[in-house]
Chain A
């Protein structure tokens, strides 16, 4: 089990065979595909183009910087636990970020959303903001979409009996990634605040309850592939307290962060902020639950 087995489509140190270059290119292709699959909904949202030039620069900077450890942790998680080193995780994260920047620039140029006569600041802002979800996509594309081409199938066979332990913090982190991803997709649209304005407080509470029930149901009740099971002796409410409730708080926290980044919370009353967070928390919590199943 050396490292080039672990990392689909990347060049390893040491001896290189001609396949390595090809595998690396295929890895890049998968990354680009992932960036598109995850990024296209956002690339085609006009609010995000506008955000590119009016988003406060320090908030954009914070988002871009926060994305780096997120990608590294994610790269480390989706690689094979035992053989995947931090060094490789950092390399994969960097490549994913790079692919995302290139793909965002390419697609935005095709859409005529960025043109040479625009201010550099505006162009960079537009690309940078799109690169965040696209980079998550690129990373997942490189790992989740691939696998068959190299020796990982055989690797899977070998791994069949082994178990991977996920730390509690890591579990919450996965939920945060899922929440961030889905909330980034919808947060910039006007619909989020419009929905919040249309809702009464009772609607908001009902949506909060529904989000939590869905989260719990997704992970424990509905038998998806990757569903979590409880040992027979553990009552269901244990997982509810230990995972679902913290997961929802994570989803709400991510929602608040994303809304703040996009300037939706400025000068807004606290009660309204809560309602915004609950509305955005709905997709975020679904994303968080899905991340626990998929990742």
Chain B
């Protein structure tokens, strides 16, 4: 409880046990946060961004074929402005190329995006590759 009198607040002297309880739980939560972050900082090895992409769905849309994909950053460092090039491969050579840029792919996290091909990629291999990034 707090007692307010003309903009003067005085905390009560005999607080309810719930106040102490909440305080204790809060302290545990905050220490937990600090411990988690410190733990990651101490234990986890810092690795540069490295990407893996996977096609999730191909749908026919107005003016082409949309390929939705997921890109995951396996490194612990966040990458910004990640350029992903998507190619439809035909006999070992790219038949069509599309590019998309992700603002951020955080470390150990995923991001989703899509490209739109004019050709139908059905039956052919789609190659997805991150070709560059910057440090945020």
Is A36 close to B, CB under 8 A?
no
Q: For the complex, is A93 an interface residue (Cβ under 8 Å from B)? A: no
Complex alpha-carbon distance, A38 and B37, angstroms: 34
Q: Which residues of B contact A172 (CB under 8 A)?
A: 22
B90 touches A (CB below 8 Å) = no
> Which chain A residues (157-203) contact chain B, with CB distance < 8 Å?
159-160, 162-168, 171-172, 190, 193-194, 197-198, 200-202
Given contacts A163-B5, A168-B18, contact A241 B23 (CB under 8 A): yes
Query: Pick the contact of B6 from A160, A193, A233, A246 — CB < 8 Å?
Result: A160
| Cβ distance A164 to chain B, nearest Cβ, rounded Å | 4
- Tell whether, in the assembled complex, residue B108 and residue A246 are in contact, meaning their CB atoms are under 8 Å apart: no
> In the complex, what distance in Å separates the CA atom of A29 from the CA atom of B35?
50
Q: Is the interface of A mostly helix, strand, loop or mixed?
A: helix
Nearest-neighbor residue (CB-CB) of A295 within chain B:
B4
Residue of A nearest to B6 (CB): A160
Residue of A nearest to B2 (CB): A166
- Classify the interface of chain B: helix, strand, loop or mixed: mixed
A241 and B5 contacting across the interface, CB-CB below 8 Å:
no
* B27 contacts A171, C-beta separation under 8 Å: no
> How many residues of A sit at the interface, in one of the four size bands?
35 or more
B136 interfacial contact with A, CB 8 Å: yes
CB neighbors of A among B71-95 (8 A):
78, 80
B1-38 CB contact bits vs A (8 Å, 1 = yes)?
11111111111010110111011111101100110111
Least Cβ distance of B119 to chain A in Å?
Answer: 29
A153 within 8 A of B: no
Is there a chain B Cβ closer than 8 Å to A113's Cβ? no
State the Cβ distance, B52 to closest chain A Cβ, in Å.
14
Contacts of B5 in A (CB 8 A): 162-164
Please indicate the chain A residues that have their CB under 8 angstroms from the CB of B4 in the complex: 163-166
Q: Mark A228-248, 1 if CB is under 8 A from B, else 0.
A: 111101100011011101101
* CB < 8 Å neighbour of A201 from B1, B3, B19, B41: B41
Please pick, from A202, A212, A243, A245, the residue contacting B11 in the complex, using a CB distance under 8 A.
Answer: A243
- Measured CA separation A227–B11 after assembly (Å): 11
Question: Contact between B23 and A246 (Cβ–Cβ < 8 Å)?
Answer: yes
* Contact, CB under 8 Å: A269 / B23: no
Leading 4 A-B pairs by shortest Cβ distance:
A201-B41, A241-B23, A269-B108, A267-B110
Could you jot down 28 A-B contacts, CB within 8 Å?
A163-B4, A163-B5, A164-B3, A166-B2, A166-B3, A168-B1, A168-B18, A194-B136, A197-B78, A208-B30, A227-B9, A228-B11, A229-B9, A231-B11, A233-B13, A234-B13, A241-B20, A241-B23, A241-B27, A245-B23, A248-B26, A249-B26, A267-B110, A268-B109, A269-B107, A272-B106, A272-B109, A274-B36
**What is the interface of chain A, defined by CB distance below 8 A to chain B?**
159-160, 162-168, 171-172, 190, 193-194, 197-198, 200-202, 204-205, 208, 212, 225-231, 233-234, 238-239, 241-243, 245-246, 248-249, 252, 267-272, 274-275, 278, 292
